Chains A and B, each alone.
Chain A
Amino acid sequence: MSVSDLFKQELKVVNMGLESFYTDLRNQKVPTIQVQWKPAAGGDRKMASLLDRLKRSQ
Chain B
Amino acid sequence: MQFIEEANKKALEIIQKAQPTLVGMGIAGDVVPGMHKHLIMHAGPPITWDRMSGPLRGAVIGALLYEGLAQTPEEAEKLAASGEIEFDPCHHHNAVGPMAGVVTASMPVFIIENKTAGNFAYCTQNEGLGQVLRFGAYSSPVIEHLKWMEKTLYPILKEALEIHGPIDLKNLMAQSVQMGDEVHNRNKATTSLFIREMASSIVKTKASREDQARVLDFLNSNDHFALNLSMPASKATMDPVGQVRHSSVVYTMARNGTDFGIRVAALGDRWFTAPAEIIDGLYFPGYSTEDANPDIGDSCITETMGIGGFSMATAPAIVQFVGGTPQDAVNYTTQMYEITLAESDSYKLPPMNFRGAPTGIDIRLVIETQILPVINTGIAHKKAGIGQVGAGVVHPPMKCFEDAFEAYVGLLDDEGLLE
Q: B409 near A54 (CB under 8 angstroms)? A: yes
Residue A16 at the chain B interface, CB threshold 8 Å:
no
Residue A29 at the chain B interface, CB threshold 8 Å:
no
Q: A50 near B406 (CB under 8 angstroms)? A: yes
Contact stretch, chosen from B135-143, B156-164, B365-373, B378-386 = B365-373
- Cβ-closest chain B residue relative to A55: B1
> Which residues does chain B contribute within 8 Å of A18, judged by CB atoms?
none
Q: How far is the CA of A46 from the CA of B1 in the complex (A)?
A: 20
A47 nearest CB across to chain B (Å): 5
Residue A13 at the chain B interface, CB threshold 8 Å:
no
Contact stretch, chosen from A3-11, A19-27, A37-45 = A37-45
A57 nearest CB across to chain B (Å): 4
Q: A50 near B417 (CB under 8 angstroms)? A: no
Interface of A is mostly: helix
- Cβ-closest chain A residue relative to B406: A50
Residue A28 at the chain B interface, CB threshold 8 Å:
no
Q: A41 near B417 (CB under 8 angstroms)? A: no
Residue A58 at the chain B interface, CB threshold 8 Å:
yes
Residue B280 at the chain A interface, CB threshold 8 Å:
no
Q: A54 near B1 (CB under 8 angstroms)? A: yes
Q: How far is the CA of A41 from the CA of B367 in the complex (A)?
A: 5
Q: A38 near B369 (CB under 8 angstroms)? A: yes
- Cβ-closest chain A residue relative to B4: A54
> Which residues does chain B contribute within 8 Å of A40, judged by CB atoms?
368
Q: A57 near B1 (CB under 8 angstroms)? A: yes
A38-B406 CB under 8 A given contacts A53-B418, A57-B1, A58-B1: no
Total count of chain B residues near the partner, CB < 8 A: 17
Residues of chain B in range 345-374 having any CB-CB distance to chain A below 8 Å: 364, 367-370
> Which residues does chain B contribute within 8 Å of A47, judged by CB atoms?
367, 402, 405
> Which residues does chain A contribute within 8 Å of B290, judged by CB atoms?
none
> Which residues does chain A contribute within 8 Å of B210, judged by CB atoms?
none
B266 nearest CB across to chain A (Å): 12
A51-B370 CB under 8 A given contacts A57-B417, A57-B419: no
A46 nearest CB across to chain B (Å): 8
A50 nearest CB across to chain B (Å): 5
A41-B368 CB under 8 A given contacts A50-B405, A54-B409: yes
B15 nearest CB across to chain A (Å): 22
A53 nearest CB across to chain B (Å): 6
Q: How far is the CA of A30 from the CA of B11 in the complex (A)?
A: 46
Q: How far is the CA of A3 from the CA of B352 in the complex (A)?
A: 39
Residue A12 at the chain B interface, CB threshold 8 Å:
no
Out of B370, B412, B418, name the residue touching A42 (CB < 8 Å): B370
Q: How far is the CA of A44 from the CA of B418 in the complex (A)?
A: 21
A1 nearest CB across to chain B (Å): 34
A-B contacts, 28 of them at CB < 8 A, read: A38-B369, A40-B368, A41-B367, A41-B368, A41-B370, A42-B370, A44-B402, A47-B367, A47-B402, A47-B405, A50-B367, A50-B405, A50-B409, A51-B364, A51-B367, A51-B368, A53-B409, A53-B413, A53-B418, A54-B4, A54-B364, A54-B418, A56-B419, A57-B1, A57-B417, A57-B419, A58-B1, A58-B2
- Given A54-B409, A57-B419, 13 additional A-B pairs, CB 8 A: A38-B369, A46-B406, A47-B402, A51-B367, A51-B368, A53-B413, A54-B364, A54-B418, A57-B1, A57-B412, A57-B417, A57-B418, A58-B1
On A, residues with C-beta under 8 Å from B are: 38, 40-42, 44, 46-47, 50-51, 53-54, 56-58
List the 5 closest A-B pairs by CB distance, nearest first.
A42-B370, A57-B419, A57-B418, A50-B409, A47-B367
